């Protein structure tokens, strides 16, 4: 009988802590207007790094630290990747990319609200979201409730793992950075 009571109490406490983590992540997202962070990205075993600014809803600017400089910009509708060295520009509709999910704070909040219990390992809350043919795994720190990374596939079906570092929220940012680049 004592074992049954212990299991019931343990299950109740575990489920409450899970719910509170999820609610705290939602609360944190609600008060977040923008994020500025450094990132490391691994695509097919190759590391890339840089700095990004996200402004909700659906805007992002990333500058990559590569010999061949490139930037990634979304104005909320389109996504542009520009290779600065060669002046090549690639346009994509945002809704056809995983960033459509990642940059939509309200969608993320709704998905979190409706999510079932997830395993948390190493102080991370994981959330998998599938919308149409796009799958995104999001990772939140269960101590700070901040987004700390994601895993997706790029347009060539390469696995892309992105980790965020030095995250700052609600910074003063220059909104001009979300203007789509053109060929010089």
DSSP track, 40-81: EEEETTEEEEEEEEEETTTEEEEEE-SSS-EEEEEESSEEEE
CATH number among 3.10.20.30, 2.50.20.10, 3.40.50.880, 3.90.220.20, domain 2-178: 2.50.20.10
Whole-number pLDDT of residue 66: 83
Strand order through the sheet with 46-55: 88-93, 78-83, 70-75, 59-64, 46-55, 34-43, 159-169, 147-153, 134-141, 124-131, 120-121
Below-70 pLDDT ranges, the chain: 1-19, 117-121, 184
User: By three-state DSSP, how is residue 116 classified?
Assistant: coil
pLDDT at 118: 62
Q: Kind and range of the H or E element at 22? A: helix 2-30
Residue spans per domain, the chain = 2-178
pLDDT of residue 122: 76
pLDDT at 28: 98
DSSP letter at 117 equals P
Sign, CA torsion 83/89/95/96: negative
Predicted confidence at residue 67, as pLDDT, reads 81
C-alpha 82, offset from chain centre: 21
Joined tokens for residue 35: 């994020």
Facing residues of 33 across strands? none
What is the phi/psi pair of residue 134, to 5°? -105, 125
Number of CB atoms found within 10 A of residue 97's CB: 18
């Amino acid at each position: 009988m004592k074992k049954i009571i212990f299991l019931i109490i343990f299950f109740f406490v575990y489920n409450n802590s899970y719910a509170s983590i999820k609610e705290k992540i939602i609360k944190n997202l609600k008060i977040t207007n923008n994020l500025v962070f450094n990132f490391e990205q691994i695509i097919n075993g190759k590391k890339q790094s840089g700095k990004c600014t996200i402004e909700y809803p659906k805007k992002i600017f990333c500058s990559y630290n590569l010999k061949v400089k490139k930037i990634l910009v979304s104005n909320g509708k389109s996504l542009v990747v520009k290779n600065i060295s060669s002046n090549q520009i690639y346009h994509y509709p945002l809704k056809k990319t995983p960033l459509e999910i990642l940059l939509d704070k309200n969608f993320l909040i709704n998905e979190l609200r409706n999510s079932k219990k997830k395993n948390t390992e190493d102080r991370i809350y994981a959330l998998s979201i599938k919308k149409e043919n796009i799958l995104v795994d999001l990772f939140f720190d269960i101590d700070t409730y901040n987004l700390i990374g994601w895993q997706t596939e790029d347009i060539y079906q390469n696995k892309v793992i992105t980790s965020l570092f030095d995250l700052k929220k609600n910074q003063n940012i220059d909104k001009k950075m979300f203007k789509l680049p053109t060929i010089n």
